[in-house]
A and B are shown apart, each in its own frame.
Chain A
Amino acid sequence: MIDEAKQDLAVEYVLGSLDARATGAFEAELQADAELRAFVDELRETTAVLAHAAPRVLPPPALRESILARIRGEAKSAPVGKPQPAGASPLGFLPWAIAAGFAITAAAFWFERTQLQTELKATREEALTLRTRDALAQVRIATLTAQNETYAKGTAVVIWDAAQQRGVVRLSNVPRAATGKDYQLWILDPKYPQPVSAGIVPVGDDGLARVSFTPEHTVRSADKFAISIEQQGGAPAPAGPIILIGN
């Protein structure tokens, strides 16, 4: 018998709500408890069924080609093996005609897709209205995205006031810079041949940073903001890898 507290944990596990440590502990329990494992499998099937409740919309045809092109690139490194069959062995044949019968015509889903696009457009317009109403509408808010896997979970936001030539940068979930290195903020302005330094951004052990800055030179058009890894103390021009960039 699985008590309610354990059932709650199982639900959170299946929904992906547990943190890494709790997930590890729960998976260890799963290994040793067949009843719990069966309960989790059942919950997983039940939960996945919720996806059927969503309307069906064809993704763009180009996306299919893009995914197939991507896996072709990975074909040589793809692991070769067989999935674990459930009891009876998998079919020795494949009814491709049946599979083809499942192909969904774009027309059948055109209406749903159009509806969805209308909803998305309305949401974007609402967001724009809210932003316009914001008292800080004149202030530029730039979100920087990671340029490699190490920083994939990192977030960086720059608030930039061009009129006052000052800003604030906040980083979160960014690992502390390696010994002898510093993170440095740059502003890309076409007026200058090199990015303009906006100073060092020290990141603490908690992966957070919050720094206010003024650029080294007057910035006329801040096209982009970037953060690179430079020698300790900073560099006059970017020499290290850019880890986060955006506008």
Chain B
Amino acid sequence: MNSAKEADRQIDVELLVRTAEGNEAAFATLYDRFAPGLFFMIVRMTHDEAEAEDVLQEGFAHIWRRAASYDATRSSPYSWAVMILRSKAIDRLRVRHRLQRTVESATVEFAHFPEADDASSRTAERHDEATHVKAALAQIPDDQRQAVELAFFGGLTHEQIAEKLVTPLGTIKARIRRGLLKLRDALKEVA
């Protein structure tokens, strides 16, 4: 890890330490550093700006409450925040998918309406980071990148991706695994 990136991480760790102590200014600074990147990630996942705002609020409230549980030996603060926000967005997506299925199903039923029923009824460094990520992503074959992006941004399970791409589940699993491992290796090369 280069020194600028490491210094950046140390700042984020320190901000989390202070956030865990109840320091509101530290939390606000952490928000200013993370929110722009995280916000668009969520918008891309939910395709709904208003819902993305709700998710961002829920996610940062979670960061405020759980800052003490952050373990710097296991991830960077930014990765930790990404996982929290992504998880919140996926919860929303799953409720929405269920809702869509319910609407579709209810609409079909309505067309066959029965008569009655039984019951009534961050930025230079971060800009560079983005450039590195894009360069790394460019090294991944299209089919693997597509599967990885559907899983990450679409919040789809492997089964749902297989169904969407009309591709065997085993193939999708292999594409995502190989895609992520290539991305990991590519990121090490471009770093």
- Interface of A toward B, CB cutoff 8 Å: 4, 7-8, 11-12, 15-17, 41-60, 63-64, 66-68, 70-72, 74-75, 78-87, 90-91, 94-96, 98-99, 102-104, 109, 112, 116-117, 120, 123, 136, 139, 141, 143, 152-153, 155-159, 161, 166-170, 172-173, 185, 198-202, 210-214
Contact = CB atoms under 8 A, between A and B. Distances in A.
B116 A78 contact: no
Contacts of A58: 35-36, 39
Contact of B61 (A67, A87, A136, A185): A67
B31 to A, nearest CB: 6
A53 B44 CA distance: 11
Given A50-B148, A52-B37, A44 B113 contact: no
A51 B95 contact: no
Given A16-B155, A71-B61, A120-B47, A84 B98 contact: no
Nearest to A166: B113
A157 B99 contact: yes
B165 interface: no
A67 B158 contact: no
B187 A46 contact: yes
A47 B152 contact: yes
A75 B22 contact: yes
B29 interface: yes
B130 A57 contact: no
Contacts of A136: 107, 110-111
B49 A109 contact: no
B10 to A, nearest CB: 5
Interface of B: 7, 10-11, 13-18, 20-22, 24, 26-29, 31-33, 35-41, 43-44, 47-49, 52-53, 56-57, 60-61, 64-76, 78-79, 82-83, 86-87, 90, 95, 98-99, 101-103, 105-107, 109-111, 113-114, 116-117, 119-123, 126, 129-130, 132-134, 136-137, 148-149, 151-153, 155-158, 173-174, 176-177, 180-181, 183-184, 187
A83 B152 contact: no
A200 B40 contact: no
18 contacts: A8-B176, A47-B152, A56-B37, A56-B40, A59-B35, A59-B56, A72-B24, A79-B65, A81-B68, A82-B17, A83-B69, A85-B73, A87-B73, A116-B49, A141-B106, A157-B103, A172-B102, A185-B121
Nearest to B182: A46
A139 B108 CA distance: 12
Contact of B119 (A80, A91, A112, A202): A202
Contacts of B43: 57, 116
Given A8-B173, A155-B99, A139 B32 contact: no
A183 B51 CA distance: 28
